[in-house]
Structure 1
Amino acid sequence: MSQGEIGSDEEALQRLTSTIVQKIGEGAQKTKSFFSSASIYRVPEELRKHKESAYTPCLISIGPLHQKDQHLQTPLQHVKMSYTNHLLSRLTAGIDDLESAEKTKFTVVEECLAELKTLVDDAKKCYAEEVTLDEEMMLIDGCFILELFYGYHTFTCMLYMRTVKFSNNIPFRGVGDI
């Protein structure tokens, strides 16, 4: 092997090493920025397959992770709207004039949506995967949870556990702002 071939091999090795080190650094940075704010993860398939029912909501979907699950596309999804309406009705309980009560509900929903609109991007960052999440989902699901806990705090532990699963989440920041 000649001196020129050895030098050429060393240069190629250095270029390859430099390229790989750069890719490793870029990949690590992308991973760090992606996972730095994530706090809601889908349960890994290896865990799910051992007891899927422990990680899959069976009545109502809360948040975007199970929103499109076929078995949850039932009339029970409309219960969230009813609970949201009931929560809003608590705010207007003392208003006798129906028109004023409806206007108050409208104003409250409008204010909540305006606040949630500022939170949607941050809320999406809470998920370890890309999700479809908007202020409507955050409002309806958040109000549902609030009314569930506020009005029905005597639910049995079993119903609670079956309704609110680890993988059935929305960021609590949005719920707190509602």
Structure 2
Amino acid sequence: MEEIQRVEDVQSFPLSESIQLEAPHLSESSPLSEAPTVVDLEASLQCELDTLWHNANEAENFTIFRTPHIISQSKKNLFEPTAVSIGPLYRGQKHLRAMEEQKRRFLRDFLSRGDHISLNLCISAMKLLETKTRMCYSEMFDDLDSNAFVKMMLLDGCFVLEYFLKSSEENWNSIDEVGWNHNFIVRDLLLLENQIPFFIVERLYGIGLNQEIRNHFVNYIVRNVAGYLSHVTGDSIDAFQPEGEIHHLVHLYYEYLVPDPEEPVVLSTKPLFCLPNSINNISSRAIPSATELKLKGLKFRPKSNRENMLDISFEYGVLKIPTLKCDDSTKPIFANLIAFESSKYGKKNRPFTSFVYFLDNLVNTPNDVTILQECGIIENWLSGEEELTHFLNQASSKFDS
């Protein structure tokens, strides 16, 4: 609690407020007479430095941050929420305010789940997590005082929790009334910049549901996310049990799709190709398109009983790939998973990005999409083969620099 108080008490202030006149040889009307002294400038800047977290490994604590501008400026619609803001990065934006009333309804519904749940208890729990939560973001958010930040944590945490609890209870009337499609909500919940730390949701879950088994809770969140997105069909969701700390929902979904980032993307019993986790030299090992491979006699088959999304194999002239469903949600989800992977693992371990590059190599023309559709590897729910071709060819651009 002392650390929390320290953060609240230390306030940065604009340089202009520290200015004092110390130039008697200048007239009062001179612009230079308003310049700060070196001492005042030092004091002001030192105050700003004192607000930074005192942690030698502070960069390792950041789990939620903005996508680099060079990426987001050309793909803005893939990274910004359209229905609901979660966390401070998009808080208060006008086009997202309609869902704020729904957040309050969800908080009311959460408090009504049992007599043991009180507003005071929830606020106190969020207050204890405030400093830890702030340190997860790469920005300070000095414009949010303690009460505003804690309120945001509670409302957003309850929205995420109640959204998935209601999905398991098939209680969607309250959300349907405001006219939002569930896919829009799930899409926004899986945007890298639109996150709160997962420990906030876990703490609220512990308060409301008497500390039930964490893995059960995590499992049905993944079940509901995968149920709406279903990017890879034929999933065995029940077997998914994440290990270690989950940072946020994007991290959770990534762990579900890519359970072991150290494994190679393409596992081949008879060598034809093997994409490395690093994409640095992928251009020199490019895979022929589906059309070219088919002309050479190679056959494509959807892979059943897959271990994960990246479980691709080649044997006896047959390339087996898990069935991939592509719809309007695929674009933003893939873009944010690639951005997350790039930020978390750098260039050395990027299996999901390599997987997307693999698809990019297979698909050069609409005819390649047709081949993969006919054999059951791709389920295309986009407007047509051309749109899917363009998406796969552009999905990972600017992430490989």
The answer, yes or no, to whether TM exceeds 0.5 is yes
TM-score (norm 2): 0.31
The residue correspondences of 1:21-100 to structure 2 (distance < 5 A) are 33-72=57-96, 74-92=97-115
Matched, 1:128 2:151: no
Contact persistence 2:89–2:194 (CA under 8 A): yes
In structure 2, distance between residues paired with 1:145 and 1:129: 22
Counterpart residue number, 2:198? 172
Deviations 1:131-177 (A, max 9, x none): 23622111111111110001024688733433312210111112211
In structure 2, list runs of 5 or more residues that go unmatched: 1-53, 173-180, 205-401
SS in 2 for 1:91: coil
Matched, 1:110 2:120: yes
In structure 1, distance between residues paired with 2:84 and 2:120: 25
Contact persistence 2:86–2:196 (CA under 8 A): yes
Matched, 1:137 2:163: no
In structure 1, list runs of 5 or more residues that go unmatched: 1-29, 93-103
Contact persistence 1:124–1:130 (CA under 8 A): yes
1:117 to 1:55, Cα distance in 2 relative to 1, 3 A:
same
SS in 1 for 2:105: helix
Counterpart residue number, 2:286? none
More helix by share: 1
Moved more, 129-138 or 55-64: 129-138
Moved more, 168-177 or 142-151: 168-177
In structure 1, distance between residues paired with 2:55 and 2:200: 25
Counterpart residue number, 1:151? 166
Contact persistence 2:110–2:162 (CA under 8 A): yes
In structure 1, distance between residues paired with 2:182 and 2:121: 33
TM-score (norm 1): 0.66
Report the aligned-residue RMSD.
2.4
**Aligned residue pairs: how many?**
135
- Shift of residue 124, structure 1, vs aligned partner: 0.3
Contact persistence 1:34–1:128 (CA under 8 A): no
In structure 2, distance between residues paired with 1:175 and 1:124: 15
1:109 to 1:31, Cα distance in 2 relative to 1, 3 A:
closer
In structure 1, distance between residues paired with 2:55 and 2:111: 41
Deviations 1:7-31 (A, max 9, x none): xxxxxxxxxxxxxxxxxxxxxxx89
Contact persistence 1:56–1:167 (CA under 8 A): yes
